[in-house]
Amino acid sequence: MQLKDRVTLITGGAAGIGKATAKRFTEEGATVIICDVNSEAGEAVAKELNIAFYMVDITDRQAVEKWVEDVLNDHGRIDILVNNAGVLRDGQLVKWKNGEVVGRMSEEAFDLVISVNLKGVFNCTQAVVPVMIQQGGGVILNASSVVGLDGNFGQTNYVATKAGVLGMTKVWARELGRYKIRVNAVAPGFTATEMVMQMPDKILDGMRQHTPLGRLGEPRDIANAYLFLASDEASFITGEILRVDGGIVVGT
């Protein structure tokens, strides 16, 4: 019961790594509240794990602030925030064929990914930090990715957000340490979420072949990393990026 009674907010908790983290934290005694834009999936997870669900679009600052206010009214404190929510809209910057441009990443795809993966993390953290300062501390955990460190073909927008999250993690660790708020990031490698497992077998086989441990990560592998960083076992760790990637170096 490493997280007994610790009030935890998890964004994007309706599936994948977010759901696995909600389950793992619940197993360790945390009081977990998830949010997601998928109300049907979110309500199903809430019922399965006996936790609370809110439908929240993290790009909407007012909605985020209302969520935090409601949780505070119900529980009186917020101990842990896991900024897990994210989206993909892949595409090459410019696709060139036979001497001409035949495709490019759309402005809409760029803006959406930036809004969710980067601004959403900013919105949620900024809303929660005053609560943590007033109560004397807390933990903020951010979802980055190995591609935020190494880059990846066809992911200008996604890589920009995940690299940006690493930068914000470093800044917030420096700004908030004086208030006993620890801020760390996890950088997963290829992980067998519902979204990833819908990819063609050829792509999945390539992911496994490029991972030295020979398999995809499981969502629970990432959840266990979040658990460690949220727990008192990591009480002297802040401003760090923990790779959970089976040894992969993207692009090799």
251 pLDDT exceeds 70?
no
pTM of the model: 0.95
- Per the domain annotation, does 252 fall within a domain? no
Enter the tokens of residue 245.
């990637």
Check 54, 158, 179, 226 and give the catalytic one. 158
Using alpha carbons, select from 71, 98, 76, 75 the residue that is nearest to residue 11. 71
- Per the domain annotation, does 250 fall within a domain? no
218 — pLDDT class (breaks 50, 70, 90): very high
What is the Cα–Cα distance from 159 to 155, expressed in whole angstroms? 6
- Per the domain annotation, does 249 fall within a domain? no
Domain count along the chain? 1
- Per the domain annotation, does 238 fall within a domain? yes
- Per the domain annotation, does 1 fall within a domain? no
Residue spans of beta strands (DSSP E) within the chain = 7-11, 31-36, 52-55, 80-83, 94-97, 100-104, 138-143, 181-188, 241-244
Kindly state the percentage of the chain with pLDDT values over 90.
91
Enter the tokens of residue 119.
């601004």
- Per the domain annotation, does 115 fall within a domain? yes
Interval 126-145 mean pLDDT: 98
* Residues near 118 by beta carbon (within 8 Å), at least 6 away in sequence: 160, 161, 164, 165, 168
**The domain that contains 75 carries what CATH number?**
3.40.50.720
Whole domain around residue 75: which residue ranges? 7-244
The tens digit of pLDDT for each residue in 28-58 reads 999 999 999 999 999 999 999 999 999 999 9
The tens digit of pLDDT for each residue in 160-198 reads 999 999 999 999 999 999 999 999 999 999 998 887 888
pLDDT at residue 206, as a whole number: 87
> Could you confirm whether 179 is annotated as catalytic?
no
